[in-house]
């Protein structure tokens, strides 16, 4: 299904969005994998549909152990090759020597600096040479994701295609897919986590809170992005 056919068909399934995006990119496409339930679902869909999709991950140096457990489970189940990227060690050393281990909690500026070093710069290297990249973002996750499109041009990363196949899925639909297909999931979901990032910046959410309330919980909702998905 091409992009024109996709636009004519409403609503399109995540697998159809993924396939159309990969076809439109006309070159290598990779999933930016944080080993969330969303990302694992996309890997499972791609495998079932025979969609050729690379996978890369960023080891920020602050990920919880449970995240690595999911990575290993994916390698074993899907015979997956994961391309790992790391922050530049000299930048991490300078940050921690100069500002300590938790400077990101002192101000929004400091938090953006930490995310830039640990996530955004490695992402730029991961995207180099790609025609498109795939994310697990969902519109329901928060106010910062309300204006996304299922397939869009990422002008801040050289104009490559950015594919968001789960954009219109609710959390209930995601959980139903995960249960039906028995996909690997982080043990943290069973402890009340609903969005998982770096360990010091993630907590379980309370009843009635938004799924991303546990990310940078000391900040306002409109600031809860790390810079990977700038617009």
47-106 tens-digit pLDDT? 999 999 999 999 999 999 999 999 999 999 999 999 999 999 999 999 999 999 999 999
Catalytic choice (33, 115, 198, 226): 226
- The token pair at 172 is 């209930």
- Which domains are assigned to the chain? 3-186 (3.40.50.620)
Average confidence (pLDDT) over 118-124:
97
Concerning whether 115 is annotated as a catalytic residue, the answer is no
Neighbouring residues of 45: CB distance < 8 A, sequence distance ≥ 6: 14, 15, 18, 51, 165
Confidence at residue 210, expressed as pLDDT on a 0 to 100 scale:
83
Please state the pTM of the whole predicted model. 0.89
């Amino acid at each position: 299904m091409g992009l024109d056919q996709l636009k004519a068909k409403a609503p399109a399934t995540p697998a159809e969005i993924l396939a159309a995006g990969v076809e439109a990119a006309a070159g290598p496409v990779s999933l930016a994998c944080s080993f969330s339930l969303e990302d694992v679902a996309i890997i499972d869909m791609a495998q079932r549909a025979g969609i050729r999709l690379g996978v890369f991950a960023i080891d920020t140096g602050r990920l919880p152990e449970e995240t690595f457990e999911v990575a290993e489970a994916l390698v074993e189940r899907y015979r997956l090759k994961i391309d790992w990227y790391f922050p530049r060690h000299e930048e991490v050393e300078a940050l921690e020597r100069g500002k300590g281990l938790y400077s990101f909690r002192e101000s929004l500026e400091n938090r953006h600096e930490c995310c830039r070093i640990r996530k955004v710069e490695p992402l730029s290297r991961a995207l180099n040479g790609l025609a498109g990249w795939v994310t697990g973002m969902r519109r329901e996750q928060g106010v910062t994701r309300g204006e996304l499109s299922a397939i869009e041009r990422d002008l801040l990363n050289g104009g490559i295609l950015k594919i968001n196949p789960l954009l219109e899925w609710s959390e209930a639909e995601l959980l139903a897919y995960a249960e039906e297909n028995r996909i690997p999931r982080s043990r943290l979901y069973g402890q009340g986590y609903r969005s998982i990032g770096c360990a010091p910046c993630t907590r379980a959410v309370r009843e009635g809170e938004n799924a991303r309330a546990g990310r940078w919980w000391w900040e306002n909702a409109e600031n809860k992005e790390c810079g990977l998905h700038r617009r």
